[in-house]
Amino acid sequence: MNPKTSARILVVLSILYGLLIGLLGALDAAVAPAAIVGAVVLGGLWTLRGILITRHSDGDRAG
């Protein structure tokens, strides 16, 4: 996957996550479980992307 495409997808997911948390907060719903799960998932995806991008660019330098 193209690095720009993966970044765009993660930005869109982050925005949708923020909107969901805002909506749940406005509706006085249980925000904490959704906030925790969403933050862990999104944080993991951003971290994984960073690791893979770093490894990919390191491979380019070695060749």
The percent of residues above 90 in pLDDT, for the chain, comes to 30
Interaxial angle between packed helices 31-62 and 3-26, expressed in degrees from 0 to 180 and rounded to the nearest 10 = 170
> What Rg value do the Cα atoms of the chain yield, rounded?
15
Residue 59: per-residue pLDDT: 63
The pLDDT value recorded for residue 11 is 92
Q: Which region among 6-15, 26-35, 37-46, 52-61 has the lowest average model confidence (pLDDT)?
A: 52-61
* Rounded alpha-carbon distances, angstroms, from residue 16 to 12, 42, 60: 6, 11, 33
Q: Over 90: is that where the pLDDT of 12 sits?
A: yes
Identify whether the C-beta of residue 7 lies closer than 8 Å to the C-beta of residue 42. Answer: no
**Residue 25 pLDDT exceeds 70:** yes
pLDDT at residue 63, rounded to an integer: 47
